[in-house]
Structure 1
Amino acid sequence: MSAQEDAFASPSFSLWRQGLQRFIDVIPHTHMLEMQVTSVDEEGVTLYLPWHPLLSGDRQRGLVHTGVLSMLLDTACGASVLTALPQPEVCPTLDLHISHRRPGIEEWPLWVKARADAVSSSVVFTEAQAWQQDGQPLARASGHFARLGPRNTPPGFADAMFAGLAESDESPAVPPTPVMAARGSSDALDPLLLEAGINDDNLAPWIAQIPYAGQLGVSACRDDEGLCFALEARSSNIGNPMLPALHGGVVAAFMETAAALHTLSQSRQPRLPRLVNVTVDYLAPAAVKPTRARCRLVREGRRMVNVDTWAWQDDEATPIARARMSYVLDPA
């Protein structure tokens, strides 16, 4: 057995960290965000996402877009899958369930740790946690990934991850997490923005308050069936450059944006929705082409709203993904 084959059979944590960083660097979306693999150990894979203004999901309240957490958790879970297999394989996300404990705050970096807690011949089971302050999780996730096997993995996939790497104890330079000072936020809706979205039937001013949605290329319009959302075919949204295909986290972020805006525009008494949990089922690879989404309010109570969202590309009858979300509404 060659030295390289032996490395594949039992890579060191150092080689895995470097290999996963190389893997993340070739993914356009995570490379753009400067995501870093800070450690790989017995407990899983840890990723670091530095703060950037485009990660904002709510300029008015100064909050991170929940879709950023979906993208980060999906990436981390996918990375942990690779370390759990005898040899790296392509493993697409089957589904992702995220429970949101508290919102992420602007200007502070994000961390996530993921691990594969079970591996079968066809599925890898993962779990992850994201945070900004130690001991205060923002969100927890569980995800299932399909094993396609070596035959369906592009030749040279493992070689590309590890070729030329050498053992190293060096870790990436990560700035210390700043001390989080107490900060206030406004839960009041800007009446002018609210009027623009509802009375003028134009959600563009709302989307302009969501920088991450703008970065993804999200827009809204109305057609014969009602409110419809669109995601531009941007190369920066790619998560699998081999197919290529959109990042699963980007698809989730698009659907979360659509559901939040739909809820705000369709509620009996418009109030800001706060995401409690989301489950995304990935039904087909998302090609790099225009993507559409539509939503339906399943139930609207005094404080809770349940929303179904589906995304498609060629035919609305054959969605590429579906999501179920629960929101709590801020007091009127």
Structure 2
Amino acid sequence: MTSSSDTSQAPAMIRQRGSFRRVIGASVAGTTLEWYDHFIYGSAAALVFPALFFPAGNPVAATLLSLATYSVAFVTRPLGAVIFGHFGDKRGRKAVLVATLVIMGTATTLIGVVPTYGQVGIWAPVLLVVLRFVQGIGLGGEWGGAALMVGESSQDGRRGFFGALVQIASPVGLLIANGVFSLVTFLVSDEAFFAWGWRVPFLASGILVVIGLWIRVQVHESPIFEEADGQREQSRAPLLVVVTGHWRTVAIAVAPASAATSPSTCSTSSSSCTALLSWARPGRCCSTPCCSAPRRRPSPSRFGATSPTASAGDRS
């Protein structure tokens, strides 16, 4: 027979589980969106930016400079983690996650309206670098904050497991980013793609941010933070306390994570750019070195029959 105490606790447990599911869903959805923003920049850096945002005349230099702007976020992500980690300990996890989502989404949307080199000259790549810098700050605060939010909201002793679920957002964001960019490149003509089509994935981020914010504001604050905040257990410099008082734990956590993350990050970043370059149709990225190499003639079944003159020229 069920006791009256068990009966009274059942609704509370159901509400708690529902709230925890919302925390997981909001964290994974928001982090997926931020990784989407991160990776569409990589796609554009390989396909578009060398032609539109750097001086013409040296395709190799333009491509290298374009990919260099992509790397800016990898430098600023640790800075974002430090900044938002500090304010997350002081102001709360939920507030920081809302802020990082807005920052990342705003920077990505603004990239979609940045004028090209032909319009504003050297200011075009400068604006790209500035916005990429902001993207890195936002992503640096987002991933760690989302994992912490999920881990601290777990009540069944499996914080590590549930915190690791946030990592699934990275490959999902990569797939969505590559899928959206590939879809746009094959739906519009070459002229339309370079004129406005490449901006669509960036501008779409503004709509996704609104949806992500609506999901994220529904969650409650981390119970562990609320408990610490109620007891006023806060330090003026939380990061300093962690590094000086728990440096062995930090080293044990950082070393294997760095060894596992670095090769994965390099492979996903380079593979996304390389794959998109190889998938591009002839003339799609006409200013990059990939288009200067001879290409195999497309099969008639895919792109239409070739002219008899061209076919005779190929046979000769």
TM-score normalized by the length of structure 1: 0.24
Higher relative contact order (CA 8 A, sep 6+): 2
Larger Rg belongs to = 2
- Higher helix residue share: 2
TM-score normalized by the length of structure 2: 0.25
- Higher strand residue share: 1
